[in-house]
């Protein structure tokens, strides 16, 4: 039965294991039908390695209403092509691939502008609106534009970091913040995304990188990654501390990598005249924008859902050893141990966890 | 007595007339000492034509605490050089000049970056921290960088609009908003600044220009200036009206030219994914930034105090008839009638006033 | 028989008329098999209107060796979709479309960068490596990315100019030249491409547009299109004339729209310090680059094969009446009169011809 | 006697030692009058450390006709302010400063655009049109904009590299070439300028840096500086070697750092479609530009005389240890040994010399 003849993606009787969301607080590692090709642009990928994202924790809490009972979670991973639809030309069975967290058709208005995050037939749908990567197999829509080839010999574990976290830190934080050589920048939040931002900010050689967080362990890690200064903001005096470090001037770029009002307003308070605030955080509430002081400060504020347009560039810098994504990986599990992996990742501070790798 | 010998700018016994602020609600057209050169970089300019800015009305209400009793108001105008300090090389006695609202030294960190608005020894100081242009004479600090030459035969009345309003609309609205050919843009506020923004947005040939205001007369003027659509927002349904005009898509660029929370939040509601909000308005209060929806919309928000770096370019387009600033001028007075001119400008809606010209 | 079942594009017995190249100097309007779908990404388009390009004249002279005997010529036109392959999702039978001169797959390295001209499975292939548009029907590869929709009521004749000439002038000349408001620009060559460049340069409101050509009629047309100055270079003194017009300064942007060494070197001679030379011309020979004078002049030289990435933007400005492509159309023929149309276009100076429209 | 009273800069009877050009092939370390303030914007700087540039060798050969008999050579160095004119406000006696090779007034059309190299009253004049820095003292025109402050404790020897060589490599090579993370770049020429380009290209983290030269020692140095590949082009097969290293694709950025036709044409041969050629070399002859192949390759070619606008940024990265200019220094002399220093620098290959430091 060809793909064209299976328009509804009728389930075959083959089974696989997957991590399934069953409403707030409920998840299970259970049997699901193995996915089949539905459209000619799909590919079926056998997962080799995947990981868990902070967004997955939000989903599990019920914070993402679009995710419904029965959905397989996960939007990151590397795998091996099992089967491709008849229109797929960039990949064939047996190819190793990076799965992008963003699905892009390549032919809508947004994709043509490189704004894949808003693809008319894609965007962030994996592990959200369609079944995701925390499973033995996944069906990737628009495979030609949503997968990236892995050459023989590459370090596939490192490349899992290219699915989401590195392009997110780089595009939403570093590129949108317009980090330049000689800049003084602040990264607010030293979780995996903040640290991915730190690693990729080094591409532009800022003079000073100040990292702000509540967790001393993460700040310590930030130092080893290249932060020139760290500030523990638990005393509520981060603004004063930063202003002291910058001789009262503030920072050229303030990158918000948390997603709550307090950290965004911290960015407003530390950005210098002519500077940038680059928001990465996923916000659930509005924030107060102090235009009564900022209106005349010539600042730029940006928001962005990652487009993953920089994945090929990031890949080149991984291959040339200019970027070492494995620094972000702290724990390893078998995919079948995913419930335990969630426990570890869900208690990141206690476990000193950044990213976990799940191997199928 | 040379400038170098008069370091404190000791007043001579020559007098002139000037518009003087005497605390909230109090102003007078009265005698003041004629200014003298203090620094070698100063120039004394005899005012030929000046105007009144919305900011002057704010000053008069007491909204700008930096302005103190006795200050001569005004930061716009054209004039003729009366005398220059020994270091001034771009100008000489008798030259006709545009006076920029922004004073720039040309040699501080900010000036070197083209951010004259934040000049370490300048910025917006005229009619604010030093005496301004609503007078028969004015002393212009850093004359070489803060004045622009007017060639013989130019229309000097039109060039008064280059002191502030046209660079403000162009830099803060059009350039910061990154208006591009084919764009759909909205200008919120059709006062003089909004209309200056409209005139200069035409430089980039947007496909659609939607102007939103409460005043039908100003909206009518906007139409004659090139707006393709107008929306009277007095019914509180501007968002719905705009979304209808744009097939539910919103605008590529939303330019805020009012300075109150409601108009800024209107911009947040109408900007499309990937779009820009360019703030021009002078805000007295914070606004609510809806990051809970905007975080993933790939938008850019900018603020700016005009730098006047584009004055030479604007001048070229005035000379080549590509920009006609006189469209912004609705009323004429003698400088000695300035109290009456304030009445007219202060009741702009009733008087159908945009910019007034005061001739000395 | 479906597309998938006809992998070799086996010819059916249906016939159509087409303009066929038979070696240097030989062409015929003759019967050819009507094209059929070969790949699932193809579309068959019935031509409504097409035109002739200067490149077609070069092909006919034998200057483009890649074009072989039997090839149907033409890479411009609008049409109506007759049939689409199974993977085509942006278009369906009956849709009216603009055919881009550039074919793009949307999924190769170059397409992802917006450099469609270098598409790994496309680029300029129509009427070159595959059969083109000077025929009753044409098969368009990668239809989703290589066609653009025409809404009901649009002026389809005008839109033929969006296939090639307007994006070429705009991308290679105006965008690459970085034409800015207030600039003084020169366009060297007032043929159809030079005039398309002129029309689209107006999007950025340069202060002065100087057009240089050998033909007084074309220079006259340039004036009516918005040129502020014209220079007939037949006396060999174009550099002197231009320098006089620019007070010895030269131009901010010099756009080469001819394709011979003399006109490129003219651009080298007239570009000002800090300026741009944007090459549009198709060159058959090398040119002399005077680095002995240009090395210190901070100039930028660009080359480009049109990518047609700006077609959607150009379309918006046609729809909003900001661009009027019909100005470029001087002659009309029925498609069956194409041999006569070639005579007219091939004697453009005598016939005062710019673009001809051929209606099917 | 104040500066204002000495408009002709009448020589005092104080003497100093200086390196003086006396026509092609003739130079002397001899007595010259110590410079005095002429204009109110001048500063007299006592040289602490200076160096010799490749351009100085050209001057000595007679290749720079503007340099006349009696001129003190040199345009690089650090020093201590001895005296400032009355208009100088950024510096005072006793301040330590970097002397920029480019003099800028800060108030002409070009300076306002950041194009200091073309300053209407400056540009490259030091050691060219006015006396230079290979002397005990130098008079620096437009001191406020042409000197940069050195804070206490900075490594002044390293900062001599900021006068010319590092901004030249960075601005003309790296910035103009638009080097980006992930790029494959080639630097043609591994002399001091090529190596300065290499050091500053690292700011943008290209994936591959291929350095091409004739001298194995310099290529070895390039490797230690961060080149990922080196090619000795003495066999005339550099193009083939580079194409092999890049899988036939060529480089994203080709930087010319020699100044002869062969190396520029090498850049033409190795640049990939969509790539950049950034010229740094000082050319004495025209080159052949192969537009017959490049017209359709979407390339950008740039030329530039250094503007030194990036000096403050480079300084920040030196202070933060992100850039280590001392790597470029191979030899040390006392200023009084300058004749010997010229011998060493003039035989750079034999002496394995890059930059020499002369201490006063």
Question: Which among B286, B298, B302 has the least Cβ separation from residue A288?
Answer: B286
DSSP annotation string for D348-359: HHHHT-SEEEEE
Q: Nearest C-alpha of chain A: how many angstroms from C307?
A: 12
Going by C-alpha positions, the residue among D37, D162, D22, D171 that lies closest to residue D93 is: D37
d(CA D74, CA D54): 11
**% residues pLDDT > 70 (chain D):** 97
pLDDT tens-place string over residues B334-357: 999 999 999 999 999 999 999 999
Spatial contact of B156 and B150, defined as CB atoms under 8 Å apart: yes
Task: Tally Cβ neighbours within 10 Å of residue B205.
Answer: 21
Spatial contact of C203 and C317, defined as CB atoms under 8 Å apart: yes
Give the Å distances, CA to CA, from D150 to A251, C300, D153: 22, 34, 8
d(CA C315, CA C308): 11
pLDDT tens-place string over residues B123-153: 999 999 999 999 999 999 999 999 999 999 9
Residue D4 confidence (pLDDT): 42
Q: For residue B201, what are the contacts with CB-CB under 8 A and spacing of at least 6?
A: B173, B174, B179, B185, B187, B209, B255
Give the Å distances, CA to CA, from B85 to B16, B39, B139, D2, D15: 20, 7, 11, 17, 33
Residue A12 confidence (pLDDT): 60
Has residue D2 got a pLDDT over 50?
A: no
* Residue C287 bridge partners (DSSP): D289
pLDDT tens-place string over residues D155-212: 999 999 999 999 999 999 999 999 999 999 999 999 999 999 999 999 999 999 999 9
* Chain D (182-241) residues lying within 8 Å, Cβ to Cβ, of chain A: 182, 202-205, 207-208, 228
Element (H, E) at C195: helix C192-201
Residue with token string 């390549």: A106
d(CA A170, CA A317): 13
d(CA C61, CA C58): 5
pLDDT tens-place string over residues A49-106: 999 999 999 999 998 999 999 999 999 999 999 999 999 999 999 999 999 999 999 9
Please tell me if residue A317 touches chain D, with a CB cutoff of 8 Å: yes
> What crossing angle do the helices spanning A261-270 and A238-245 adopt, rounded to 10°?
30
pLDDT tens-place string over residues B260-311: 999 999 999 999 999 999 999 999 999 999 999 999 999 999 999 999 999 9
d(CA D250, CA D184): 8
Q: Cβ A309–C90 below 8 Å, yes or no?
A: no
Spatial contact of D74 and D135, defined as CB atoms under 8 Å apart: yes
Q: Cβ B87–D40 below 8 Å, yes or no?
A: yes
pLDDT tens-place string over residues D89-138: 999 999 999 999 999 999 999 999 999 999 999 999 999 999 999 999 99
d(CA B117, CA A298): 9
Q: Is the dihedral of CA C337, C342, C343, C345 positive or negative?
A: positive
Show the tokens assigned to B21. 């602020």
Going by C-alpha positions, the residue among C108, C97, C106 that lies closest to residue C138 is: C97
* C228 chain-B contacts, CB cut-off 8 A: 320
Mean pLDDT of C291-317: 97
- For residue D170, what is the DSSP state? I
Q: Hey, which bits of B214-349 come out as E strands?
A: 229-232, 251-256, 271-279, 287-289, 300-302, 329-334
Show the tokens assigned to A102. 């963003």
- For residue C345, what is the DSSP state? H
With CA atoms as reference, the chain B residue closest to D144 would be B107
Q: Nearest C-alpha of chain C: how many angstroms from D290?
A: 4
Residue with token string 């993370």: D181
Going by C-alpha positions, the residue among B2, B8, B328, B27 that lies closest to residue B169 is: B328
Has residue B2 got a pLDDT over 50?
A: no
Residue with token string 């004629």: B34
Has residue B4 got a pLDDT over 70?
A: no
Q: Cβ A299–B299 below 8 Å, yes or no?
A: no
Going by C-alpha positions, the residue among A242, A223, A221 that lies closest to residue A231 is: A242
pLDDT tens-place string over residues B8-67: 455 567 999 999 999 999 999 999 999 999 999 999 999 999 999 999 999 999 989 999
Please tell me if residue A116 touches chain B, with a CB cutoff of 8 Å: no
* B110 chain-D contacts, CB cut-off 8 A: none
Element (H, E) at A355: strand A355-359
pLDDT tens-place string over residues A197-212: 999 999 999 999 999 9
Has residue A6 got a pLDDT over 70?
A: no
Spatial contact of C36 and C82, defined as CB atoms under 8 Å apart: no
d(CA A117, CA A124): 6
Spatial contact of C46 and C99, defined as CB atoms under 8 Å apart: no
Q: Cβ B300–A302 below 8 Å, yes or no?
A: yes
Spatial contact of B181 and B208, defined as CB atoms under 8 Å apart: no
pLDDT tens-place string over residues D33-59: 999 999 999 999 999 999 999 999 999
State whether residue B75 is helix, strand or coil: coil
With CA atoms as reference, the chain A residue closest to C41 would be A87
**Cα-based angle D61, D63, D65 (whole degrees, multiple of 5):** 115
Q: Cβ D286–C281 below 8 Å, yes or no?
A: no
Give helix then strand counts, H and E, for chain A.
13, 16
Has residue D7 got a pLDDT over 70?
A: no
- Chains with at least 3 CB pairs less than 8 angstroms from chain A: B, C, D
- For residue B143, what is the DSSP state? H
* Residue A256 bridge partners (DSSP): A188, A279
* Phi, psi angles (nearest 5°) of residue D60: -60, -30
Show the tokens assigned to B232. 């009277």
Task: Work out the end-to-end distance of chain D between its first and last CA atoms, rounded to an integer number of angstroms.
Answer: 27
Question: Which among D110, D113, D295 has the least Cβ separation from residue C283?
Answer: D295
Residue B89 confidence (pLDDT): 94
State whether residue C41 is helix, strand or coil: coil
Q: What is the pTM of this model?
A: 0.96
DSSP annotation string for A206-231: -SEEEEEES-HHHHHHHHHHT-SEEE
Q: Which residues of D53-85 are buried (b: 16+ CB within 10 A; e: fewer)?
A: bbbbeebbeeebeebeeebbbbbbbbbbbbbbb
Q: What is the ipTM of this complex?
A: 0.95
> What crossing angle do the helices spanning D261-270 and D238-245 adopt, rounded to 10°?
30
The torsion of the CA quartet A157, A159, A160, A163, rounded to 10 degrees, works out to 180
Please tell me if residue B324 touches chain C, with a CB cutoff of 8 Å: no
Going by C-alpha positions, the residue among B31, B45, B48, B35 that lies closest to residue B6 is: B35
Show the tokens assigned to A117. 């995050």
DSSP annotation string for C219-287: HHHHHHHT-SEEEEGGGS-HHHHHHHHTTT--EEEEEE-S-SHHHHHHHHHHEEEEEEEEE-S--SS-E
Q: Cβ C86–A112 below 8 Å, yes or no?
A: no
pLDDT tens-place string over residues C312-329: 999 999 999 999 999 999
* C4 chain-A contacts, CB cut-off 8 A: 4, 86
d(CA B262, CA B280): 14
Show the tokens assigned to C350. 């005598």
Show the tokens assigned to B105. 């030294």
């Amino acid at each position: 039965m060809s793909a064209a003849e299976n328009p509804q993606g009728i389930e075959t009787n083959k089974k696989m294991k997957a991590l399934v969301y069953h409403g707030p607080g409920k998840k299970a590692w259970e049997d699901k039908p193995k996915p089949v090709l539905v459209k000619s642009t799909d590919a079926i990928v056998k997962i080799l390695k995947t990981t868990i994202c902070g967004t997955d924790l939000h989903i599990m809490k019920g914070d993402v209403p679009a995710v419904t009972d029965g959905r397989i979670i996960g939007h990151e991973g590397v795998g091996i092509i099992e089967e491709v639809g008849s229109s797929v030309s960039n990949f064939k069975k047996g190819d190793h691939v990076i799965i992008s967290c963003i699905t892009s058709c390549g032919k809508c208005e947004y994709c043509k502008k490189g704004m894949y995050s808003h693809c008319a037939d894609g965007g962030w749908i994996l592990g959200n609106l369609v079944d995701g990567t925390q499973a033995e197999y996944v069906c990737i829509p628009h495979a030609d534009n949503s997968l990236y080839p892995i050459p023989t010999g590459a370090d596939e574990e490192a490349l899992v970091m290219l699915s989401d976290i590195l392009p997110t830190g780089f595009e939403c934080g570093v590129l949108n913040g317009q980090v330049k050589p000689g800049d003084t920048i602040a990264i607010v939040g030293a979780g995996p995304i903040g640290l991915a931002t730190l690693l990729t900010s080094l591409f532009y050689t800022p003079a000073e990188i100040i990292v702000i967080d509540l967790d001393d362990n993460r700040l310590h890690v930030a130092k080893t990654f290249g932060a020139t200064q760290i500030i523990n903001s638990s005393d509520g005096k981060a603004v004063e501390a930063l202003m002291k470090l910058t001789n009262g001037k503030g920072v050229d770029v303030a990158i918000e990598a948390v997603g709550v009002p307090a950290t965004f307003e911290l960015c407003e308070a530390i950005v210098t005249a002519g500077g940038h605030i680059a928001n990465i955080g996923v916000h659930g509430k509005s924030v107060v924008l102090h235009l009564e002081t900022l209106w005349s400060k010539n600042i730029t504020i940006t928001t962005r859902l990652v487009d993953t347009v920089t994945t090929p560039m990031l890949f080149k810098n991984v291959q040339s050893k200019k970027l070492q994504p494995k620094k972000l990986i702290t724990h390893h599990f078998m995919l079948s141990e995913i419930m335990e992996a969630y426990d570890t990742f869900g208690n990141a501070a206690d476990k000193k966890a950044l990213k976990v790798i799940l191997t199928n």
